[in-house]
Structure 1
Amino acid sequence: MAIKAADVKKLREMTGAGMMDCKKALTETDGDFDAAVEIIRKKGQAMASKRADRETTEGCTLAKVSADGKKGAVIILKCETDFVGKNESFVALADSILEAALNSDAATKEDILDLQLNGVVIKEVITEQIGVIGEKIEIADYSVVNAETVVPYIHPGNQLSVVVGFNQAGFDVQVGKDVAMQVAAMAPVSVDKDSVPAEIVESELRIGKEKAREEGKPEAMLDKIAEGRLGKFFKESTLLEQAFVKDNKQSIKQYLNAASNGLTVTEFKRFSLS
């Protein structure tokens, strides 16, 4: 049977596959859309199997918050090449997956795969797109922040994204944006010194002692010197103690408290592809 251009267009819109692939699938199935979709899915499965051991080093990362502003999430969707990672349709796919995850109880990247997107399980959607694009695609990371207010930030180019949770609602929107951009720019290791992982603290103390020893400091002074250098590390590497990039005369903690008494950050997530 003759395949109409309108039918090819419809199948392309349904699957994202190329025009020629859609026409070929419809021709093979005598215009049966369901069977044509299945052919395209099988092509994706075959391609996914072929590229399973390929390395995904490119992609995009996005951040988004719920309508009430109390839940935020960040995702990294990876692919093989920069060309695909910057493609509008690839970014749109990442955005759609993130939206579905945000509107669910998904807590991990594995949870997302079982969700549905337009009636299709996301695991299958990704497989289909592998067939369409011809590259391995995978959800590399996903994380959620719940708080009284959550603020997102996506750096231009979709290579870095942030969500920051705050303990209050109703404060100046610009304050939230400033802190989210601070997290993006300064990459703190934690909110405050009390939330720095123990292994990092131990590593910094060890490095501090080794440096002091190399500098010829007295052995009896090494612990004290290391503690002093740890304090400097906390000031430079924990969000609330960091100097505010827009005004380095005050810390983020001081900036937040000046904006609203008792305002602080409860949690943040920062994803970067570099």
Structure 2
Amino acid sequence: MAEISAALVKELRDQTGAPMMDCKRALQETNGDMGAAVRVLREKGMAGAAKRSDRETPEGKVGYRIGDDNKRGTMVAVGCETEPVSNNEEFLAFAKKVLEAVESEGPGAEASLDEERVLLAGKLGENIVVAGTARFEAVNGGMIAAYAHPPRNKIGVLLQIRGGSEDLGRKVAMHIAALRPNWIGRDDVPEETIAQEREIYAGSDEVQSKPEAARDKIVEGMLNKRFFGANVLVDQEWIHDSSKKVGDALGGEGAEVLEFERFELSG
């Protein structure tokens, strides 16, 4: 077996980022062949990543970037298993690379970094995933806004709004981060979903115990308050002023939300 010097081990570590002992073992296994040792580490890293791939990734970071003219915005969510790794410099550098790739090439560009993701997962000993990506381009007078909830930045929202101010856009993004709407307006809710909810309410003991003549009105009230009020953005209570609905806040500035994406890293 060839003598494996500390300098050779360090060179392999600098090249791959793998732990020192893993580098030494790879060099011993390949009789000091640097190229073969790199391949061994990559194969082991991929095998280890495959074993970890079913682990949950409740930690990580959501990051975003908005163009100077607010006409383009990008957001990515990169997950890991523990909070310490989410603050690791190499993890943060990888998340930044993902953001830059998606900003440049659009969603799907993160696939070009998959090998680097696998190697980083092997080095840090955790499952690392790109949990979500989005890039919006402003259309028809739209403006891009975003928000990532501090201090851990595990929840983020990217949206396009037309009309209103930058401050309103950010406040709406904050609202979406907090209350998780599924649709912007009632027209966005599939008819079959509404029909299903109406049927559930109509068949509930709460409604069936009321006089038959009053049931339809009660069901519509429940639908408005409990379903639309919880799931439709413009019908939700505005977190910045509970006397208003989001639709009121938007209407007050002649604004409308055109699209949004919400990312959350959780178990």
TM bracket, shorter-chain basis: 0.7 to 0.9
Contact kept? 2:161, 2:256, Cα under 8 Å? yes
Taking a change above 3 Å as real, the CA distance of residues 18 and 146 of structure 1, as seen in their structure-2 partners, is same
Shift of 1:155: 1.1
Shift of 1:267: 0.9
The answer for the alignment partner of 2:239 in structure 1 is: 245
- Deviations 1:69-90 (CA, angstroms, capped at 9, x unpaired): 3333443333344443454432
The answer for the alignment partner of 2:106 in structure 1 is: 105
Q: Which moved more, 1:79-88 or 1:203-212?
A: 79-88
Letter in 2 for 1:60: G
SS of match in other structure, 1:4? helix
SS of match in other structure, 2:105? coil
Distance 2:147 2:246 in 1: 17
The answer for the alignment partner of 1:162 in structure 2 is: 157
- Asked if 1:125 corresponds to 2:116, the answer is yes
Letter in 1 for 2:232: T
Shift of 1:13: 5.4
Taking a change above 3 Å as real, the CA distance of residues 254 and 51 of structure 1, as seen in their structure-2 partners, is closer
Unpaired runs of 5+ in structure 1? 116-121
The answer for the alignment partner of 1:118 in structure 2 is: none
Out of 210, 216, 231, the residue aligned to residue 209 of structure 2 is: 216
The answer for the alignment partner of 2:176 in structure 1 is: 183
SS of match in other structure, 2:42? helix
Out of 103, 112, 137, the residue aligned to residue 128 of structure 2 is: 137
Distance 2:144 2:12 in 1: 39
The answer for the alignment partner of 1:64 in structure 2 is: 64
Letter in 2 for 1:249: S
The answer for the alignment partner of 2:222 in structure 1 is: 229
Taking a change above 3 Å as real, the CA distance of residues 222 and 63 of structure 1, as seen in their structure-2 partners, is farther
Letter in 1 for 2:158: V
**TM-score for the superposition, normalised by structure 1:** 0.77
Contact kept? 1:80, 1:137, Cα under 8 Å? yes
SS of match in other structure, 1:44? helix
The answer for the alignment partner of 1:114 in structure 2 is: 111
- Asked if 1:55 corresponds to 2:55, the answer is yes
Shift of 1:26: 6.3
Shift of 1:214: 4.9
Distance 1:11 1:173 in 2: 49
Task: Give the total of aligned pairs.
Answer: 256
Q: CA RMSD in A?
A: 3.1
Contact kept? 2:201, 2:207, Cα under 8 Å? no
Taking a change above 3 Å as real, the CA distance of residues 87 and 215 of structure 1, as seen in their structure-2 partners, is farther
Contact kept? 1:212, 1:222, Cα under 8 Å? no
Out of 192, 197, 209, the residue aligned to residue 204 of structure 1 is: 197
SS of match in other structure, 1:151? strand
The answer for the alignment partner of 2:42 in structure 1 is: 41
SS of match in other structure, 1:250? coil
Taking a change above 3 Å as real, the CA distance of residues 202 and 167 of structure 1, as seen in their structure-2 partners, is same
The answer for the alignment partner of 2:255 in structure 1 is: 263
Letter in 1 for 2:255: L
Contact kept? 1:66, 1:102, Cα under 8 Å? no
Once the two structures are aligned, what percentage of the paired residues are identical? 34
SS of match in other structure, 1:129? helix
Contact kept? 2:98, 2:110, Cα under 8 Å? no
Shift of 1:265: 0.8
Letter in 2 for 1:252: V
Distance 2:106 2:258 in 1: 20
**TM-score for the superposition, normalised by structure 2:** 0.79
Distance 1:159 1:48 in 2: 22
- Asked if 1:273 corresponds to 2:265, the answer is yes
Distance 1:112 1:198 in 2: 35
